C-alpha cells in the first residue's frame, strides 16, 4: 500500500460543542484534509509544539519523552497512521536506536505530538485518506486568503463523537482584551503552567496578527 505524507494544518475547535477539538492534517501533494478528534490535553501539547513562543517552565509529558529518548539515543524516524476502525485512527511510531528499528503502537494524538518534537514526518495510507479524507468548502474570499472555516469540519465529525468538556467561558472575554493585556495574561498562564489557557490566549493573539 502506498503512503501519503501529511502536514499539520492546525488545530480547530467546534463552534457548537464546547471543548471539542480536531487536529487537521493536510496531504502534502494534494488538497484533502484528514480531521482527527483529539482531547484537550493532546490539543494543548500539540499547540505548544506548534507555537514556539510558548515555553513551558517544566517539561510536559511529551517533552519528557523527548528528553528521555535523547538521553538514550532513541530517534523517532516517522509516524504512520495505519488503521481506521469505527472512526478511531490507529498509529505506529517508527523508532531507531543503534541502527535497529522498532515499531511502537500509539494513540494518533500522542504520536503526532512526538513527531513534532522530533521533526519526524507523518504518513498515512492512501486507502485511509480515500476513506476519511475530505475537501473543505471554501468561498472565493477564503480561497484568496488560503483559509477556511475548519470549525465546520469539527462540528461535522463530532456529531457521532464525544466532546471533551472544558471551561469555554473565557473565549469571548479574550476578544475584549487588548494585545498587551493578552500577552500579559499569556505570560501569567505559562508561569502558572495553565497551558490550556495559554493555548487559547495564543490563538486569540494569532488572530490579530
What percentage of the chain carries pLDDT values higher than 90?
39
Whole-number pLDDT of residue 118: 96
Identify the CA nearest to 186 among candidates 49, 177, 117, 58: 177
Q: Is the pLDDT of residue 171 over 80?
A: no
Instruction: Work out the pLDDT band at 163, boundaries 50, 70, 90.
Output: very low
Whole-number pLDDT of residue 174: 76
> In the structure grid, which three cell numbers stand for residue 91, read together?
498509529
Identify the CA nearest to 93 among candidates 104, 82, 101: 104
**What whole-number distance in Å separates Cα of residue 123 and Cα of residue 137?**
24
Whole-number pLDDT of residue 160: 41
Please, what is the average pLDDT of the chain?
A: 80
**What whole-number distance in Å separates Cα of residue 198 and Cα of residue 189?**
5
Q: Is the pLDDT of residue 103 over 60?
A: yes
Amino acid at each position: 500500500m502506498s503512503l501519503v505524507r501529511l502536514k499539520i494544518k492546525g488545530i480547530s475547535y467546534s463552534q457548537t460543542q464546547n471543548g471539542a477539538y480536531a487536529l487537521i492534517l493536510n496531504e502534502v501533494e494534494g488538497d484533502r484534509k484528514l480531521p482527527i478528534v483529539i482531547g484537550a490535553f493532546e490539543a494543548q501539547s500539540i499547540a505548544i509544539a506548534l507555537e514556539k513562543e510558548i515555553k513551558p517552565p517544566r517539561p510536559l509529558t511529551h517533552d519528557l519523552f523527548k528528553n528521555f529518548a535523547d538521553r538514550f539515543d532513541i530517534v523517532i524516524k516517522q509516524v504512520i497512521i495505519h488503521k481506521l476502525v469505527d472512526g478511531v485512527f490507529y498509529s505506529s511510531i517508527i523508532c531507531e536506536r543503534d541502527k535497529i528499528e522498532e515499531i511502537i503502537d500509539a494513540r494518533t494524538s500522542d504520536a503526532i505530538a512526538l513527531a513534532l518534537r522530533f521533526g519526524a514526518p507523518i504518513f498515512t495510507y492512501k486507502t485511509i485518506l480515500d476513506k476519511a479524507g475530505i475537501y473543505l468548502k471554501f468561498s472565493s474570499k477564503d480561497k484568496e486568503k488560503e483559509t477556511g472555516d475548519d470549525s465546520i469540519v469539527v462540528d461535522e465529525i463530532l456529531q457521532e463523537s464525544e466532546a471533551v468538556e472544558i471551561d469555554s467561558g473565557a473565549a469571548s472575554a479574550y476578544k475584549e482584551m487588548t494585545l498587551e493585556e493578552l500577552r500579559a495574561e499569556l505570560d501569567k498562564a505559562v508561569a502558572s503552567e495553565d497551558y490550556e489557557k495559554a493555548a487559547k490566549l495564543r490563538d486569540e493573539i494569532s488572530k490579530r496578527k
